[in-house]
Structure 1
Amino acid sequence: MITACFPLLITGVFELCIRLPIRVSSLPPNEPLPPGAFTLVEDIIAVDGHGGLEFRKAWRARYEASTIMRKLLRDLSIFWGATGTIAGAAFIVVSWTTTDDIAIGVGYGLPWLWAIVCALISIKWTRRELKREREELHEHPQLVKRQVSLHIRDDKPEQQNIA
């Protein structure tokens, strides 16, 4: 849990401040990282959901244009990251300080409970924010413009022929 949640927490808290020398999802090396929730949604839908490059472009455009979407993804990254890191650390402490039977129950059962509770909260939270976004865009369509740029290249770099 900690290895999955801590990066969410860090990318949520330091949104667009962290740069890695490696490619992350559709971001080229050394580009500012969006919140981890952005990358998770992008990869799951584009790859597993077969959304492909079309989805990646649409998702990026929505992130760049919507203040509400950027805040939602940042807040969800912090929420999942903080709760998962704290819960994971607590589960480790409980597992190390109790009997084997209790440790197995905690180690296998409580992470599922945590995930289900966080998923239910996230669904309700996301629906509320998407409704607010629709209302705001309906009332103020002039607000829809690119406000942030992720600097993702839409084209593939040309491959060099080595002779």
Structure 2
Amino acid sequence: MRYKATVIGTAAALIIGGGWIGDRLSQKPVATATGASSVRESFHFCHTGGGTNCVVDGDTIWLQGENIRIADIDAPETHEYDCASEKALGDRATQRLLQLVNSGTITLKSVDRDADVYGRKLRLVLVDGHDVGDTLVNEGLARYYQGGKRPWC
């Protein structure tokens, strides 16, 4: 199921990267001409989370203290996987997501649901205007979310 996206309101819009527009030491966002906030962030790997700009797995990131689940995809598990091939593909998806979020300007778009049952914010994630979910699916590292848990093995 593909989610219908709506851009988050300008006061809450979040665009990351593209250049240093904020105070480099404090990382505070600065309002731009469009009314969206912008700041450069660098992501690292954080297998279990951590709250600050990191990639947990192939469909989950932490961004400025918010746990974000990419709304329209399902990536293989890296924590509670069912077989070695699922874990290997999940690791590849995680590494690719890390590469993508570090490669340009990130834009989050809201969907019809704000959060999942685990409290993660459901958002479409775009890098330089390209949908990260589409990229991962097209590269065979994820599939479009169709509800429920489906096996990878």
Same fold (TM over 0.5): no
TM-score by length of 1: 0.30
Structure possessing the higher radius of gyration over alpha carbons: 1
Greater strand content? 2
Greater helix content? 1
Q: Bigger relative contact order, structure 1 or 2, given CA contacts below 8 A and separation 6+?
A: 1
TM-score by length of 2: 0.31
